[in-house]
């Protein structure tokens, strides 16, 4: 972050009438109070004293209640908000200052801090654009140059990580699809084996039925032949019997004839 802008009292303030001078002194008192708290909080590098920065914010707001359009005081308020990690509010404050300021250096400082606020929210494109605007207003600003490079490198790194994640995700998806295909193939193979076994069983059943039908037909055929043989045998026996009867009758007739001749 850019350093705090310390508000200095100009000679103009001492030329005001007493009523206005007294009011201005109260305003400056709040600014000095806020600056003192802010600077003390910055001295402790072991921790971020958000409570102290919150007290500085309160002091700055009391001053701004009297002079809400003072860009330097608003700048200090933006810094206090940033230090409390109120990055959304700090962003709005620095955007407002950058739009209203006519001084290129002050505008550059506002865009620099706007870039920092965006960077802390991981809004890399917005932060990069803010740093570029800071450099357009002050090309010699080394802090903005450094932060611009940092933000661009961070964006590049995140894009590479995203590509790798997408690649890994696609790889996992491919592996999952392969596993699903393999499972489907195994299922299809199992279903095919089941169908083959089913067809095999069906064929075996058909074969058994055919064999059974053949056996039944064969049995029926044997029974028919046996019946025909039996009938033939009976006919032969009857023929023999008839021949014997005829022979016996012929012999008897001959005997009668011989008896008469005698």
Q: End-to-end alpha-carbon separation of the chain, Å?
A: 174
Average pLDDT over residues 5-29: 43
State residue 202's pLDDT score: 66
Residue 258 — very low, low, confident or very high, per pLDDT cuts 50/70/90? very low
Q: Which helix (H) or strand (E) holds 79?
A: helix 71-83
Measure the CA–CA gap between 8 and 25, rounded to whole angstroms. Answer: 12
- Regarding predicted confidence, which is higher, 234 or 64? 64
Tell me which residue of 74, 153, 154 sits closest to 114, measured CA to CA: 74
State residue 21's pLDDT score: 46
Q: Which residues contact 77 (CB under 8 A, 6 or more apart)?
A: 57, 60, 61, 64, 93
Where in the sequence of the chain do the CATH 1.25.40.10 domains occur? 87-162
State residue 7's pLDDT score: 31
Q: pTM for the whole thing?
A: 0.58
How far is C-alpha 74 from the chain's CA centre?
A: 43
Q: Which of 2-6, 12-16, 178-182 has the highest mean pLDDT?
A: 178-182
Residue 135 pLDDT > 50: yes
Measure the CA–CA gap between 131 and 112, rounded to whole angstroms. Answer: 6
Residue 9 — very low, low, confident or very high, per pLDDT cuts 50/70/90? very low
State residue 228's pLDDT score: 55
- Regarding predicted confidence, which is higher, 262 or 133? 133
Measure the CA–CA gap between 131 and 117, rounded to whole angstroms. Answer: 11
State residue 169's pLDDT score: 84
Residue 155 pLDDT > 70: yes
The overall average pLDDT reported for the chain is 76
CATH of 87-162, one of 3.40.190.10, 1.25.40.10, 2.70.98.60, 3.40.50.720: 1.25.40.10
State residue 24's pLDDT score: 57
Residue 234 pLDDT > 70: no
Measure the CA–CA gap between 108 and 142, rounded to whole angstroms. Answer: 12
State residue 50's pLDDT score: 80
What burial class does residue 93 get, using C-beta atoms within 10 Å of its C-beta: 0-12 exposed, 13-18 middle, 19+ buried? buried
């Amino acid at each position: 972050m850019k350093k705090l802008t310390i508000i200095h009292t100009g000679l103009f303030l001492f030329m005001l009438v007493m009523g206005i001078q007294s009011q201005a002194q109260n305003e400056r008192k709040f600014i000095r109070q806020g600056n003192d708290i802010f600077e003390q909080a910055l001295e402790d590098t072991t921790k971020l004293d958000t409570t102290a920065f919150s007290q500085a914010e309160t002091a700055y707001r009391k001053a701004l209640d009297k002079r809400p359009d003072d860009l330097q005081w608003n700048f200090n308020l933006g810094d206090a908000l940033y230090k409390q990690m109120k990055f959304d509010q700090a962003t709005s404050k620095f955007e407002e200052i950058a739009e209203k300021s006519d001084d290129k250096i002050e505008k550059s400082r506002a865009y620099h801090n706007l870039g920092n606020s965006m960077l802390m929210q991981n809004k890399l494109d917005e932060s990069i654009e803010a740093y570029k605007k800071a450099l357009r207003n002050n090309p010699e600003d080394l802090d903005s140059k450094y932060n611009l490079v940092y933000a661009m490198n961070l964006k590049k790194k995140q894009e590479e990580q995203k590509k790798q994640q997408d690649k890994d995700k696609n790889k996992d998806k491919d592996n999952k699809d392969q596993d699903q295909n393999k499972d489907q193939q195994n299922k299809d193979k199992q279903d095919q084996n089941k169908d083959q076994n089913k067809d095999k069983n069906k064929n075996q059943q058909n074969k058994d039925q055919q064999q059974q039908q053949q056996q039944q037909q064969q049995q029926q055929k044997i029974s028919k032949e046996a019946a025909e043989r039996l009938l033939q045998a009976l006919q032969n026996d009857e023929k023999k019997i008839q021949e014997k009867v005829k022979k016996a009758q012929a012999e008897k007739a001959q005997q009668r004839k011989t008896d008469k001749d005698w």
